[in-house]
Structure 1
Amino acid sequence: MEIQENICSIGNLEAEQSILGSILLDKSCIEHIESLVSNDFSKEYNRIIFESMMDLNEKNKPIDLITLTNELKSKGLLEHVGGVSYITSLSTIVPTTSNIKHYVDIVKVLSDKRKVIKASYGLIENIRSGKDIDSSMVVFEKECVIDNTAYNEADSIVEVLSELFDDMQEKPEEKIKTGISIIDKCTNGLGRHELITIGAGSGVGKSAIALKIAINAYEQEKKVLIFSREMSKKQIAKRILLSRTGISKNKFENREFTDMDWKRTIDVINSFYKRNMILDDKSSTIQMFKNKMRKERPDLVIVDYTQLVTPSNTRESRERQVAEISRELQQMARDFDTTIIQLSQLAEKGSGNFRPTGESYTRESRAIYHDSHIVIYMHRVTEEKELEKAYKSIPAFHERGSFEDIKATIEARANSGIRFVEINVDKNRDGEPGSNFYWFKGSDLDYYSII
């Protein structure tokens, strides 16, 4: 009895529960557990639940809280497995169903360990009881056969290339277009599993560019989730509303609206009738982000901004805290099969308005740069040398006058709220870097090409 208890103690309850919870949330997860059998579960009640799920699947019935409860009731086993409360708890502990293969691997490895340990105890008992070694070894080898097919995923080059060949015959991935010409030119759009960093100093427009991308994604029928640690939900909604209606901040604050303003406001509200843009100003930790993402299943996630996310370990150095948050976001992009944009403040570099480039400009942790597939820097151009460089590279400036004329134009536009900025795709893991200059009008949440 003690031996059996020791063997059964070798298991991972959370991984077993996560498998069952994943199937409850999404029946299609069964496709990823072909190698799993009920005896792979260390706990009897989990084995019973798994068997009932497989019975429902065999009958082509849905697998959910109601059908599973009824199936267990019909077998007289509902209370034996912990009742409705345990069944309900299974679907609430799963961080993401996309990790089910990982949970299966954990359960299979521990199941094989139990199998070998049990066979080893049997071998010892057989030899002690007087059986010959050869016969005992035959029994031992039969009892501890490991199903290696569970671990033989495609990892030789020929198998991976074959998978790639199959992918090439499918439709190309539908990437998210940002609406910013230089970004779309360099990246061909933002893809799934990618962590994108947009870095800028205060007031340069990183939140504005994120909202522009969010609106573009929404208009491409994508579901967008915005975690804002800097602005409230109402502030975000207000910026979007004013930018789309053309209502000025003063008119809004003084409530001086024309009939046309009201019409445009109603049109904007109606344009967002789908529940495909979610604003969250309450979630502050990575775990809270995961819970919300599991519920919403977004195509695009925006975190505004990384340095304001609450770390899990406040005793670590600030550099390690920010690095951990960035690595978690990178992993979440893969686990949740989504695109994540993290906004980041840039490090101060002493006096002067330096053009940011490279890893040293990501504030508080260089891990932000290394973890990202794409790093985009936004820079307000004000230094004389940079203005000269911009003047030489922009044909439209030459046509409009001398360098001094253009400087005067830039200053005049700045006074009216239009800034001269450079958007620099500084890192692009799967493509080419590149940069271009734009007029940025914060009230419009938009970047205008210089023509």
Structure 2
Amino acid sequence: MPEHLYSQEAEQSVLGCMILDSRTIDYIKNLNGDDFYYESHKDLFNSIMLLNKKNKPIDLVTIVEQLKSIGKLEDVGGISYITSLSTIVPNTSSIGHYIDIVKGFSDKRRMIIASYKFIENIRGGKDIDSSLEIFEKSTNIIDEVKEYNNTLDYIMSNIFDKLNDKPQEKIKTNIAIIDKHTNGIGKKELIAIGAGSGVGKSAIALKISIEAYKKGKKVMIISREMSKEQVAERIILSETGISKLDYENRSFTESDWVKLTNTMSNYYTKNIIIDDQISTIQGIKRAIRVNKPDLVIVDYVQLLTPSSIKDTRERQVAELSRELKNITLDFGVPVIQLTQLAEKGNGNFRPRGESYTRESRAIYHDSNIVIYLHRVTEEKELNEAYKRTIFNERGSFDDMKATIEAQGIKGNKFLEIIVDKNRNGTTGSNYYWFKGSDLNYYPIV
């Protein structure tokens, strides 16, 4: 190992501080024996830490006896070397600095070894994703540091320090029923949005993306259902109000051209990333590291590629959902996973609970918030909608059905947006028109 990748003096100083003053061991949290380059220093460090764990005094006599008991005294240089360590430390109060040096060199060595192994795996024929996963597991330097911040005293202190700060800024969806019950989307939350085909799950995710972007957030959309050009065109339609038919036929008025120009200018940005090539969890992780988004949207989870093709489909989808949940915790970023709904007999029944997420109930269980989009067509549900909406004041039940039918001819769907699960809040639902021409949701008023 090149000389610049270790410091004998720093390792000696750490050990010297521990021998001179056992109270300095309290500062040793993210350091372990393997962080020392010299084998003799590893043995000496481990012996001191073992004595400390056993609540035994730490001095020259106890250290020597411990090393003798494991046959390592001569290996570390004998009594004379241990004695010399306590004489080379200028100041025990600088132990934090010495630890940082030792840990820094240890991290560099680990990264180099892992990099060599990564290259060997690639040359040996392993695919990139699995090789990267091995690399990440062998270089979990950040995770090691984090785990020492898990004691309740640290957590309570951190919470207390934040009490005078502004409340956590959540990402508002600008869809009243969702924001009412969730107060917006928070960091480390996994949100599942489920709907049948053509009901508008991609549209609602896109609407949330636009709202987040307008609030200064960086959004990353993983699209496995549409190309990145199609997603961008949906943004244009949603913001301009131009119908899909007019857009496809390039039938634009002078006013449309003004809207198009303004919209494309407003969205000429690097803060919305649309990737239609990523298909794996590892790919999503890499993209998050590179782009550092404030919100990630996966459209949709069942279209991602699982790590094992041998597992049952239910287990594959469960693993994908679990990994997306882990991403929210590891990166501190909210993730919205879109999901198809399971077919339930012949009727278009109102979804509720875990059994409606297609191919795996884990999607429901892993998510902090589950939102269903339901097209209301069944007689019983229409009756319920009539009682709960302004239709009740404006006319008869048959009048409402006639309005829904007329709107349907125009391409507008009568939907119930349902907040079915909310781990940290309330649940509820309300009714909306989904206007397919501009991909927007309008409350029934």
TM-score (norm 1): 0.69
- Using the alignment, how far apart are the partners of 2:400 and 2:410 within structure 1? 15
- Using the alignment, how far apart are the partners of 1:416 and 1:174 within structure 2? 38
- Using the alignment, how far apart are the partners of 1:152 and 1:425 within structure 2? 36
Give 1:34 deviation, angstroms.
Answer: 7.3
Matched, 1:434 2:425: no
Q: Percent identity?
A: 57
Whether the aligned pair in 1 keeps the contact of 2:29 and 2:148 (CA below 8 Å) is no
Q: 1:38 to 1:365 in 2, by over 3 A?
A: closer
1:420: which partner in 2? 414
2:229: which partner in 1? 234
Q: Deviations over 1:161-180 (max 9, x none)?
A: 44433332221111000011
Whether the aligned pair in 1 keeps the contact of 2:432 and 2:441 (CA below 8 Å) is yes
Q: 1:218 to 1:337 in 2, by over 3 A?
A: same
Trace 1:16-415 onto structure 2 (pairs within 5 A).
Answer: 35-36=29-30, 40-41=34-35, 100-104=141-145, 153-156=149-152, 160-394=155-389, 396-415=390-409
Whether the aligned pair in 2 keeps the contact of 1:99 and 1:335 (CA below 8 Å) is no
Give 1:444 deviation, angstroms.
Answer: 1.9
One-letter amino acid matched to 1:289: I
Q: 1:82 to 1:432 in 2, by over 3 A?
A: closer
Q: Deviations over 1:36-58 (max 9, x none)?
A: 459643668xx9xxxxxx89x99
One-letter amino acid matched to 2:151: D
Q: 1:300 to 1:95 in 2, by over 3 A?
A: farther
Whether the aligned pair in 2 keeps the contact of 1:95 and 1:291 (CA below 8 Å) is no
Whether the aligned pair in 2 keeps the contact of 1:374 and 1:427 (CA below 8 Å) is yes
Whether the aligned pair in 2 keeps the contact of 1:239 and 1:443 (CA below 8 Å) is no
Whether the aligned pair in 2 keeps the contact of 1:194 and 1:333 (CA below 8 Å) is yes
- Using the alignment, how far apart are the partners of 1:325 and 1:34 within structure 2? 37
* Aligned partner of residue 342 in structure 1, secondary structure: strand
- Using the alignment, how far apart are the partners of 2:189 and 2:319 within structure 1? 17
One-letter amino acid matched to 1:102: D
- Using the alignment, how far apart are the partners of 1:36 and 1:339 within structure 2? 28
- Using the alignment, how far apart are the partners of 2:362 and 2:150 within structure 1? 30
* Aligned partner of residue 282 in structure 1, secondary structure: coil
Give 1:95 deviation, angstroms.
Answer: 5.5
* Aligned partner of residue 278 in structure 1, secondary structure: strand
Whether the aligned pair in 1 keeps the contact of 2:244 and 2:438 (CA below 8 Å) is no
Q: 1:201 to 1:42 in 2, by over 3 A?
A: farther
Give 1:398 deviation, angstroms.
Answer: 2.0
- Using the alignment, how far apart are the partners of 2:142 and 2:282 within structure 1? 20
One-letter amino acid matched to 1:427: K
- Using the alignment, how far apart are the partners of 1:251 and 1:230 within structure 2? 23
Give 1:252 deviation, angstroms.
Answer: 2.1
One-letter amino acid matched to 2:391: F
- Using the alignment, how far apart are the partners of 2:329 and 2:269 within structure 1? 26
Q: 1:327 to 1:42 in 2, by over 3 A?
A: farther
One-letter amino acid matched to 1:290: K
Q: Deviations over 1:343-376 (max 9, x none)?
A: 0001111100100000010111111000000000
Give 1:383 deviation, angstroms.
Answer: 0.6
One-letter amino acid matched to 2:325: Q
Whether the aligned pair in 1 keeps the contact of 2:237 and 2:439 (CA below 8 Å) is no
Q: Deviations over 1:40-86 (max 9, x none)?
A: 43668xx9xxxxxx89x99xxxx9xxxx9xxx9xxxxx9xx979x97
Whether the aligned pair in 2 keeps the contact of 1:377 and 1:426 (CA below 8 Å) is yes
1:123: which partner in 2? none
Give 1:443 deviation, angstroms.
Answer: 2.2
- Using the alignment, how far apart are the partners of 2:136 and 2:328 within structure 1? 13
* Aligned partner of residue 443 in structure 1, secondary structure: coil
Root-mean-square deviation (Å): 3.3
Q: What runs of 5+ residues in structure 2 fail to find an aligned partner?
A: 1-26, 42-96, 120-131
Give 1:242 deviation, angstroms.
Answer: 1.6
One-letter amino acid matched to 2:358: R
Whether the aligned pair in 2 keeps the contact of 1:301 and 1:340 (CA below 8 Å) is yes
Q: 1:237 to 1:37 in 2, by over 3 A?
A: same
Q: 1:271 to 1:43 in 2, by over 3 A?
A: farther
TM-score (norm 2): 0.70
- Using the alignment, how far apart are the partners of 1:254 and 1:353 within structure 2? 34
Whether the aligned pair in 2 keeps the contact of 1:195 and 1:340 (CA below 8 Å) is yes
Whether the aligned pair in 1 keeps the contact of 2:197 and 2:340 (CA below 8 Å) is yes
Whether the aligned pair in 1 keeps the contact of 2:404 and 2:414 (CA below 8 Å) is yes
Whether the aligned pair in 1 keeps the contact of 2:417 and 2:432 (CA below 8 Å) is yes
* Aligned partner of residue 290 in structure 2, secondary structure: helix
Q: Deviations over 1:303-344 (max 9, x none)?
A: 000110000000000000000000000000111110100000
- Using the alignment, how far apart are the partners of 2:150 and 2:275 within structure 1? 39
One-letter amino acid matched to 1:202: S
- Using the alignment, how far apart are the partners of 1:368 and 1:356 within structure 2? 14
Give 1:450 deviation, angstroms.
Answer: 1.1
Q: 1:43 to 1:442 in 2, by over 3 A?
A: farther
Q: 1:42 to 1:313 in 2, by over 3 A?
A: farther
Give 1:393 deviation, angstroms.
Answer: 1.2
- Using the alignment, how far apart are the partners of 2:258 and 2:297 within structure 1? 30
Whether the aligned pair in 2 keeps the contact of 1:376 and 1:426 (CA below 8 Å) is yes
Name which of structure 1's ranges 439-448 and 256-265 shifts more when overlaid on structure 2.
Answer: 256-265
Give 1:262 deviation, angstroms.
Answer: 2.1
Give 1:160 deviation, angstroms.
Answer: 4.2
2:440: which partner in 1? 446
